[in-house]
Structure 1
Amino acid sequence: MGTHNWGVDSRTGLTDLGATDAAAMDDSHLSAPVDAGYYRRVLVRGWRLVIGGVVLGLVVGAVAFAVLPRTWTSTAAVLVTTTGATSTSSVGERTTDEEVNLDTEAQLVKSAEVVDRALTELGSDADPSTVAAQVSVQVPANTTVLEITYAADSPEAAQAGASAFAQAYLDSRRSVAEDDIDQRVQTLQDQLEQARTEQTSLQRQAAAASGADATALQAEVAAAAATVTDLAQSVASLKSILVTPGRVINEADVPDSPAQPQAALVIGSCLALGLLGGLLASAWRERSRPRLVEASDVTRETGLPVRVALPAHPAEVRTEPEFASEVTLARAWRALADDVPGTSLVVLPGDAHADAVAVGAAFSWSVARSTRPVRLVLEALAGDDLPVALDETAAATLVWDAAEPGELRTGRWTGVARGSEVHVEVVDLHGAPLSDLPTSDALTVLVAGPEGALWDTDHTEGSPTVVVVSSGADARAIQAHLPSELGADGSLMGVVLHPRPSTRATLGGVLGSTDADTLPTNADADTDADTDAATDPSAALLDEEPIEAHEEHEDVHEDAREDEAEPVAHG
């Protein structure tokens, strides 16, 4: 049985678009343009997935926030000043001073020397590279301030680390400046010694010379003396320099709360991911497994019109049927009956066979109420009961004639609806071939079994056909279930769409008797028909436990049942 797709023809109303393989159909569906209602279906029909994704994201975010390690940070602010030693400025950098390049100084905070000094200050033997990674430095714009931040796994460690690095940086800067001054002083002192030695030598030469030579040597001695004086002044000037590397203007404090993780960031991110995951899951399900929930879904996915959209399942126990919906349903059944050409209608189960039987039975009863003769033919009836519940003003009975296996068995479904008698002839093929079905002028409703002759168009001879589909059914499964040759002759009328029942009821059948006065009555019949017939007589047909809302009518209904001439089949 191949996958089948249907389209709409302007002449016949329905046209076979041909059989395609499942993969091709899926690809064409995925490549089709997204209709306007797609996003609405993703949100509305997939709200459980969306809410589930949000809840899951919230739970994961809360768990992640609870288990993630805490990181505490503390910051020390250092005012960087000129050390007093001569240095070269780099004009044009992002943040500069005449003799201080703050960008360079920020890098020096994480230098090996500063890290070693900080580790010594902390008394730690941790890996220097690991400790350096815990330090970050910020330079506020238009300032000569370094903000040294240290991250640790405890508030106290963060405060101690920030203080240690601030002090280590200042100590390192002081040490570098002092070393620079000492080196320059040593250089000048060496030059001064050399100048004094030269001055002494010139003085000796001038004392031994005479005449013009003595005059020239005296001039050189004076020059050497001037050089010695300048060098001595330079040495004294360098030795008088007061090194000022800077100072800590804001001491590092013990943090009150961890810097990481941030609850809003972690939980918010997980929440957003959960929402996105729920939306994607809903969109994927709507794409890969489109469901037939509304009439527009049926038309969009299968190309078939919805002939009847039932307000409730025919086997649904309804305590308070809505009058307006019942009138609308009766008109829809009547319109379907008027559109049936000829005297037969084939009902195919799109997904569940019991649903097709219930729809066929409800349709037959509605036709019979209009005094039109009708015959309900069941290809595969499980047991003796019809899975149907009707909202009528009187009880109904289903009586079967005895039949051998492999032979047709007939039954009479009779009752009263709004003061008029209703009769439906029921035929169970009971394993007999379809050819054994006698001809009749009555409208014949043929309900196909899960598999059987009614699925073969050669046996139905082009009879008009409807497919029974439950709301929420998988469109792919429905299309794959239908035979590829179905509707090739234009006989496929459309779809009967029904909601899924929350409770199923059955019309009980009695075998081998036509005398209503001799029909057996069991104990359940006295307890299951507890609904007031004037309020909701359909419950008298139900093979279920009584509805709690109607138990108050038990005494009234018992008195009415005693006056009945024939027993009520229970439901």
Structure 2
Amino acid sequence: MNDDIRGQQDEPELLRDQVQQVLRHRVLVAGGLLAGLLAGGWFAYGSVATYESSSEVLVRAATINPYATNGVSVDKQINIGSERQMAAGNAVAERAAERLGRSADDAGDLQGHLQVTNPPDTLVLKFTYVAGAPKAAADGAAAFAQAYLDYRETQTTSTVTNMISGYEKQLDPLAKQREDLLDQIDQLQSDTEKGTALSAQANLLSQITELTNDISELKALDTTPGYITVKAEQPVKAEGLGTPMLIALGGVVGLALGLLGAWLRMIFDPAARSADTVSRALRAPVLGSLPRVPEEPLLAADGALAEQYRSVAFRLAYDRHFADRRRLLVVEPNGEGTTAAVVAVNLTACFAETGMSALLVEADLRHPDLARRLPEAPGARPGWAGREPADGTPWPGGRHIPVDAGESGTFDLVPGIRVPHVARTLTSAATTRLIDQADAPNTTVVVLAPPVLSYADALALVDRVDGVVVVCDPRTVARTALERIRELIDGAGGQVLGAVLHPGGRQRKGRRKPEGAVTIPASPVTAEAVTRDPLSSGTR
């Protein structure tokens, strides 16, 4: 059985188990979701609304004939990167501030609201302006676009004017030389001298004509810097995700953080939490999970709780490791052992219900109390009961109680008593002979021992039984505790048959003496008559 459990688990099952464990931390997940919704609402209602407006400008170069196809295209003369830097510069910002009716000192503040971009493979500059009001956003984008065009046209016009002025300064001396040369030609008589003067006149005329043509071209130059292709308009709604989207986004982020917190809580949570984790820690199957009931009786007569006990008992009765020799040890990891006692009593009753001769041995010699909690049934005692042990040990000889289990029938109880030396008593020959009653045909022996991690009593009985059933609450028991129990039982030569899970926090009947409970017959050696060793009497 354990070899099968040690096999590698399917990844989907492990993933499903982890998801279930994460979802068990509903408070963290719900807290993260609520925090995210609140944060989204705070951002939605607490942030200032912003409006964005854009204006686009098609940049063009100054040219005489924009449709001429010869030579290099004028568009190639434009460095759009430099134009974008110029559009976002201080000079354009000062002009935009003037158009908006603000001082030049506010240019830096206006630049903080502006973004100039260039769509790929175009000569278009997009001016995007962000403001707290729709009209302010539209006015800002329009002002920057027009300021850029004005500044660029001013620069182009200034350059053309300077060039014309330079050409005119070159043209005036040439014109004066030409006039002087014409006067000299009129006074010359020799043909040779006239030919030389006429040749000089032709050269001057050629230079004057070239300069005149350059001036004419510059004056005819179209200095239009570009065109506004998209005018800025007042935005209809504010920028951003909007209130519903912000709240939804906050909820998604909060849910993710809640799941992350739940996952971290699961990773660092020492408790087992799930049946699969208990099974992996013990390397044994979970035999059953007890339902939560308002008040748990010591003997469950009917209902879902009784059926679960019958299911566990049936599984144990047909387990190949337990069916050979009917010896079963029931323990808890830690605590007072009250839940293990309830499970041991009900399993014994279920075995008796199947027609077996069931015997319950209360090997908890530190805090025994089953005798006063279970009703006695009239009937004859077996032959081994009532005989004093040959080795003189105070337990278990001479103590036998038939217990009335209602419709399940009856079973025998060997109650525990306080003894001075617990370990010596549990390893005595009398205890071995008592547990060996399971060798009789159709007989089952269930042994109840104190918590494994609190006392070593259970380990003294491990090699005398055929298997151990661990009773635990997966929400409170640590994985390391279950692994420690498995190591201790394996080291003592025993085997964990499985686990029975029970929900914590259930209300149990008080430990009052029920009607029909018996008083343990006095023995030759009682707990009151013997001076106890503090270590063996259960004190720490």
Where does residue 18 of structure 2 map in the other structure?
Answer: 42
TM-score, normalisation: structure 1? 0.67
Distance of aligned partners of 1:148 and 1:269 in 2 relative to their CA distance in 1, 3 Å threshold: same
Amino acid at match of 1:44: Q
Q: What is the DSSP-based 3-state SS (H/G/I as helix, E as strand, rest coil) of the residue aligned with 1:487?
A: helix
Q: Within 1, Cα distance between the matches of 2:209 and 2:44?
A: 72
Which residue in the other structure is 1:116 paired with? 94
SS at 1:176's partner residue? helix
**1:390-409 → structure 2 map (5 Å cutoff):** 397=375
State the distance in 2 between where 1:490 and 1:139 align. Answer: 80
In 1: Cα distance, 2:420 partner to 2:281 partner: 36
Distance in 2 separating the partners of 1:249 and 1:366 = 91
Name the CA distance, whole Å, in 1 between partners of 2:517 and 2:189: 170
The equivalent residue for 1:218 is 198
Is 2:171 aligned against 1:187? Answer: no
What is the aligned counterpart of 2:449 among 424, 447, 461?
447
d(CA) in 1 for partners of 2:123, 2:207: 39
User: Is the Cα contact below 8 Å between 2:290 and 2:501 reproduced in 1?
Assistant: yes
Aligned-residue offset at 1:33: 9.7
> In the TM superposition, what is the alpha-carbon distance from 1:135 to its structure 2 partner?
2.4
Q: Does 1:367 align with 2:343?
A: no
| RMSD value, Cα | 4.6
Q: CA deviation at 1:276?
A: 4.4
Residue matched to 2:364: 379
Aligned to 1:425: 413
Find the aligned partners of 2:477 and 2:418 in 1 and give their Cα distance: 31
Instruction: Say whether 1:415 aligns with 2:404.
Output: yes
- Say which of 283, 287, 311 aligns to 1:328: 311
Q: Partners of 2:205 and 2:32 in 1: how far apart?
A: 91
**Paired residue for 2:75, among 90, 97, 102?**
97
Contact 1:114 1:169 in 2 (8 A): yes
* Partner of residue 303 from structure 1, selected from 257, 270, 283: 283
Q: 1:339 aligns with which of 322, 335, 348?
A: 322
Please, which runs of 5 or more residues in structure 1 have no aligned partner? 1-6, 15-31, 389-395, 400-406, 517-571
Contact 1:358–1:386 (CA<8 Å) still a contact in 2?
no
Q: Tell me, in whole angstroms, the C-alpha distance in 2 between the residues paired with 1:165 and 1:386.
A: 97
Where structure 2 has 5 or more consecutive residues not aligned to the other structure, the ranges are 378-393, 439-444, 520-540
Residue deviations 1:115-166, cap 9 Å, x none?
A: 2222333314566556435322344567654321112344333222211101
Counterpart CA distance in 1 for 2:414 and 2:247 is: 63
Q: Which moved more, 1:239-248 or 1:162-171?
A: 239-248
The superposition leaves residues 498-522 of structure 1 with CA deviations (integer Å, 9 ceiling, x where unpaired) of 2315532227532898689xxxxxx
**Inter-partner Cα distance in structure 1 for 2:153 and 2:371:** 101
Alpha-carbon spacing, 1:50–1:105, altered in 2? closer, same or farther (3 Å)? same
Once the 2 structures are TM-superposed, how far is the Cα of residue 177 of structure 1 from its aligned partner?
1.5
Q: CA deviation at 1:169?
A: 0.5
Structure holding more strand per residue = 1
Once residues 213 and 258 of structure 1 are traced to their aligned partners in structure 2, the CA distance between those partners, rounded to angstroms, is 85
Q: Does 1:167 align with 2:146?
A: yes
1:356 aligns with 2:340: yes
Judged with a 3 Å threshold, the aligned counterparts in structure 2 of structure 1 residues 427 and 387 are, in CA distance, closer, same or farther, namely closer
SS of alignment partner, residue 75 of structure 2? coil
Percent identity, please.
Answer: 20
Give distance in 2, aligned partners of 1:387 and 1:203. 150
In 1: Cα distance, 2:134 partner to 2:167 partner: 50
Q: Does residue 506 of the first structure (1) align with residue 509 of the second (2)?
A: yes
1:360-411 Cα shifts (integer Å, max 9, x gaps) = 22223323444624234152776967999xxxxxxx7379xxxxxxx98979
Is the alpha carbon distance of 1:490 and 1:408 closer, same or farther for their aligned partners in structure 2, counting shifts above 3 Å? closer
Does residue 51 of structure 2 align to residue 72 of structure 1? yes
Query: Contact 2:130/2:137 (CA < 8 Å) preserved in 1?
Result: yes
Q: Structure 1 pair 101/414, CA: closer, same or farther in 2 (3 Å)? A: same
- Name the aligned partner's letter for residue 117 of structure 1: R
Equivalent of 1:231 in 196, 211, 227: 211
The 1-side partners of 2:503 and 2:481 are apart by 15
The structure-2 alpha-carbon separation of the partners of 1:134 and 1:514, relative to structure 1 and needing over 3 Å to count, comes to closer
The letter of the residue matching 1:415 is D
The answer to whether the 8 Å contact 2:57/2:228 transfers is yes
Alignment partners' CA distance in 2, 1:70 and 1:387: 76
> Match of 1:361, as an amino acid?
V
**When the two structures are superposed, what TM-score results if normalisation uses the length of structure 2?**
0.70
> Who is 2:134 aligned against?
155
Secondary structure at the residue paired with 2:240?
coil
Q: Following the alignment from structure 1 to structure 2, what is the Cα–Cα distance between the partners of residues 175 and 96?
A: 19
The answer (yes or no) to whether the contact 1:379–1:452 under 8 Å persists in 2 is: no
Task: Say whether the 8 Å CA contact 1:398–1:508 is kept in structure 2.
Answer: no
Cα 1:384–1:215 change in 2 (3 A) is same
Contact between 1:106 and 1:138, CA under 8 Å: does it hold in 2?
yes
Residue 292 of structure 1 deviates from its aligned partner by: 4.4
Tell me whether 128-137 or 354-363 shows the greater mean CA deviation: 128-137
